[in-house]
């Protein structure tokens, strides 16, 4: 049999019609059935592209010119790799996310029949990010901040303020970068593992205007620390906490183990609904507080807690979901691997006067089987794992515990679908899935799923 050759060559320029859109937001055009993925191209566009990569079964192209424009095209400045979808209308973006969830449920979990609702959108899908982590680099002897180029560690300097971040955060980053540059602080260099300043991290509350700045260095000492503190305080009165984190490792992980207090409080507060949360430097907190409220509303609605219910909140972070559940339940147990987050969770229970909660430090996959052995029988389990989804041991523990309901909050539809399949096979039925758009302009999509135990 003759080996099939790709019908295009690398560096060839061709004109084609864009027919489809991938989950990452790439346009798909075909040459004799051979698909070419083209970032920033939109369905129904006629486009001139340059072939940049040729694999056996598919290729990649670079968009050179749009001959026939989609009505969904938006003229946007693409400064960095963070936002993949700024060139498309919000309407198309939501449609794409809706399709993505339906497709993975069908392909990975064979759950074609499960209703997937339209994503809950934002009225103004801009300036929503309340946490920013900016890498610091150097250019012509000055410090620069920006974002990493897609699939690389080259910093693209952002000249214009980022359109998805809270503008007040943009301004704080400017101050820290400018002052550090003036003081002659060096940027950390990943290649040589030399230098000082690695990242500037800022987290701001939305409903309570408190802001934390974390300056991350490779070195144990932050030179001119007090000058930096003064510069921040002078220009940004709503900053209430300034911390120094030390990360001496060769790693992509932003924060190191050690965090030192420079000025102000060691945490900030924010309010969601009627609850107040203290958040410290190393704890997870959703980056889009406006949508978080909607995400938690759905989670609570699906959890449908009764006054006698025992509930588990696995991957509980600072206890946000746990405390909303605790307002309705008899008792809530939370488990979380980051000790600082658990100590925030305990603080938050006290802060909100909720005594019917218990938080444990550990991995959900170890603690849940241990709880089972202890005889804990939850009526409802809520899980909210990171992108890699739930560990198999945890899924098995949930199946063994036989709760009435499971509410699965997920930031990755593919691992969600994989885990739903396992839970379905373990006797649960997926009733409905509600996507929530937590990350407009990017291809990330969050989902809340409701599963009920099948009664035989």
The residues binding ligand SAH (CB under 6 A) are 284-286, 315-317, 320-321, 335-338, 341, 363-365, 384, 386
Q: Which is nearer to ligand SAH, 89 or 363 (CB)?
A: 363
Residues 6+ apart with CB under 8 A from 182: none
Q: Which helix (H) or strand (E) holds 417?
A: helix 413-425
Among all chains, which residue has been given the structure tokens 């009733």? 431
In angstroms, give the least distance from the CB of 438 to ligand SAH: 10
Distance CA 28, CA 36 (A): 6
* Nearby residues of 456 by Cβ (< 8 Å), 6 or more positions away: none
For the bound state, the minimum distance from the C-beta of residue 330 to ligand SAH, rounded and expressed in Å, comes to 20
Q: In angstroms, give the least distance from the CB of 311 to ligand SAH.
A: 13
Quick one: residue 133, left, alpha or beta (phi over 0 = left, psi -120 to 50 = alpha)?
A: beta
CB of 322 to ligand SAH, least distance (A): 8
Distance, in Å, from the CA atom of 97 to the CA atom of 90, rounded to the nearest integer, reads: 10
- Nearest C-alpha neighbor of 346 from the set 324, 318, 310: 318
Which of residues 136 and 272 has its CB atom nearest to ligand SAH in the complex? 272
DSSP secondary structure string for all residues of 348-383: HHHHTT--SEEEEES-HHHHHHHHHHTT---SEEEE
Distance CA 273, CA 385 (A): 22
What is the b/e burial string over 218-246, where b = at least 16 CB atoms within 10 angstroms of the residue's CB?
bbeebebbeebbebbeeebeebbbbbbbb
Nearer to ligand SAH, 309 or 336 (CB): 336
Pairing of strands 46-54, 13-21: antiparallel
Query: Which residue has its beta carbon closest to ligand SAH?
Result: 317
Closer to ligand SAH by CB, 91 or 258: give it: 258
Alpha helices in 210-276 (DSSP H): 225-235
Q: How far is the CB of 273 from ligand SAH (least distance, A)?
A: 13
- As a whole number of angstroms, the distance between CA 232 and CA 217 comes to 17
Decide whether 16 or 367 has the Cβ nearer to ligand SAH. 367
* Pair 211, 221: CB distance under 8 Å: no
- Smallest gap from Cβ 220 to ligand SAH, in A, equals 25
Pick from 367, 380, 368: which is nearest to 409 by CA?
Answer: 380
CA atoms within 13 A on the CB side of 226: 0
CB of 315 to ligand SAH, least distance (A): 3
> Is 411 designated active site?
yes
Catalytic one among 316, 390, 411, 447?
A: 411
Task: Pick the closer one to ligand SAH by CB: 364 or 406.
Answer: 364
Q: What are 444's two structure tokens?
A: 């990330």
The CA distance from 22 to 39, in Å, is 10
The C-alpha atoms of residue 295 and residue 437 are separated, in whole angstroms, by 9
Q: Known catalytic residues?
A: 411
């Amino acid at each position: 049999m003759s080996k099939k050759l790709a019908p295009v060559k690398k560096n060839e320029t061709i004109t084609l019609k864009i027919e489809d859109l991938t989950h990452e937001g790439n346009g798909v055009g075909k040459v004799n059935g051979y698909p070419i993925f083209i970032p920033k191209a939109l369905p129904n566009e006629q486009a001139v592209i340059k072939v940049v990569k040729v694999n056996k079964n598919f290729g990649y192209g670079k968009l050179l010119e749009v001959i026939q424009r989609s009505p969904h095209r938006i003229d946007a400045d693409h400064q960095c790799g963070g936002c993949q979808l700024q060139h498309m209308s919000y309407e198309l973006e939501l449609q794409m996310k809706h399709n993505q969830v339906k497709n993975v449920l069908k392909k990975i979990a064979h759950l074609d029949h499960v209703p997937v609702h339209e994503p809950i959108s934002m009225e103004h899908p801009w300036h929503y990010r309340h946490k920013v982590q900016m890498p610091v680099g150097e250019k012509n002897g000055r410090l620069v901040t920006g974002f990493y180029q897609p699939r690389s560690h080259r910093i693209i300097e952002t000249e214009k303020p980022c359109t998805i971040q809270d503008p007040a955060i943009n301004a704080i980053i400017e101050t820290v970068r400018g002052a550090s540059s003036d003081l002659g602080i060096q940027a950390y260099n990943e290649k040589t593992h030399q230098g000082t300043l690695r990242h500037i991290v800022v987290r701001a509350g939305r409903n309570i205007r408190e802001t934390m700045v974390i300056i991350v260095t490779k070195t144990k000492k932050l030179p001119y620390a007090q000058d930096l503190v003064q510069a921040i305080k002078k220009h940004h009165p709503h900053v209430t906490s300034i911390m120094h984190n030390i990360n001496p490792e060769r790693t992509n992980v932003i924060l190191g183990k050690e965090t030192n207090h420079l000025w102000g409080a060691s945490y900030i507060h924010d309010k969601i609904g009627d609850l107040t949360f203290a958040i410290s430097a190393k704890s997870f907190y959703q980056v889009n507080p406006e949508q978080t409220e909607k995400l938690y509303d759905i989670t609570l609605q699906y959890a449908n807690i009764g006054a006698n219910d025992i509930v588990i909140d696995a991957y509980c972070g600072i206890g946000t979901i746990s405390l909303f559940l605790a307002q309705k339940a008899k008792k809530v147990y939370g488990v979380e691997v980051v000790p600082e987050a658990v100590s925030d969770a305990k603080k938050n229970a006290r802060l909100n006067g909720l005594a019917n909660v218990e938080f444990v430090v550990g991995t959900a996959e170890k603690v849940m089987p241990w709880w089972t052995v202890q005889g804990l029988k939850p009526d409802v389990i809520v899980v909210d794992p990171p992108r890699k989804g739930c560990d198999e041991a945890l899924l098995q523990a949930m199946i063994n515990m036989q709760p009435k309901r499971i509410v699965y909050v997920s930031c990755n539809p593919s691992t969600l679908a994989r885990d739903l399949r396992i839970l379905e096979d373990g006797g649960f039925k997926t009733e409905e899935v509600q996507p929530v758009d937590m990350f407009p302009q990017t291809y990330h999509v969050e989902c809340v799923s409701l599963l009920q135990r099948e009664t035989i």
